[in-house]
Structure 1
Amino acid sequence: MISASFKRNELVLKELDLLREDANVYKLIGPVLVKQDLAEANANVRKRIEYISAELKRLDATVQDLEEKQNSKRDTILKLQQRIQSVQAGKGKA
């Protein structure tokens, strides 16, 4: 969802960059289109892109951290399973 929003904002920025300085730009606020200054619209979209990029980086770091924890827990479980199997094999021989 964040990625789609990022792409939409990039497309909006590209469209704004194509406009002349005297072009009319409108922002949808609820059911109303409100006239907005091109420079202000451009700055708002850039800020949104910056914010979304930071969120994507933060989420990527969180996912990576969770994957590392998952791998660590998996290793711990495998070691415990091996110990259990060796203990059970030892009891079977006795």
Structure 2
Amino acid sequence: MSSAAALEAKLQATSGAFTKLENDYARAVEELANLKPENTVYKQVGPVLLKQDQDEARGNVDKRLEWIEGEIKRTEANLKDLETKLESKKMEGQYQQQLQAAGAAPVAA
């Protein structure tokens, strides 16, 4: 597999991870926004659901959202880096093709 193809595959994988994080983020925000004071919140601990205070649940969700935002930023930076590397490899390939074309062309006397 060429290095450009490897970078393209890594870019696709990172893009998929980024999309999943965005979806997780949106789902968490939506669920938290729909809570009413009379709603009961449960936390899954192993196979058991335990009642949890809404404020504690919000705090946990806020921490999780901070982590997801950090992962999104890290993934965006990784995507940008991969795109830069991919573009560099494309330019390198085009340069190599130009050199080969110039070397194969007859020299005018």
TM-score, normalised by the number of residues in structure 1: 0.83
Q: What is the correspondence of 1:40-59 to structure 2 with a 5 Å cutoff?
A: 40-59=56-75
User: CA contact under 8 A between 1:25 and 1:36: conserved in structure 2?
Assistant: yes
Aligned sequence identity (%): 39
Structure 2 residue runs of 5 or longer lacking an equivalent are: 1-19
RCO higher in structure (CA 8 A, sep ≥6) = 2
* 1:14 equivalent in alignment to 2:33: yes
Structure 1 residue runs of 5 or longer lacking an equivalent are: none
Structure number, greater radius of gyration: 1
By how many angstroms is 1:11 displaced? 1.2
Spell out, residue by residue over 1:35-91, the C-alpha distance to the aligned partner (whole angstroms, 9 max, x if none). Answer: 101110010011111110110111011000110111111111111111101111127
One-letter amino acid matched to 1:51: W
Structure 2 partner of 1:70: 86
User: CA contact under 8 A between 1:2 and 1:52: conserved in structure 2?
Assistant: yes
One-letter amino acid matched to 1:24: T
Task: Tell me which moved more, 1-10 or 39-48.
Answer: 1-10
By how many angstroms is 1:23 displaced? 4.6
Corresponding residue pairs, total: 90
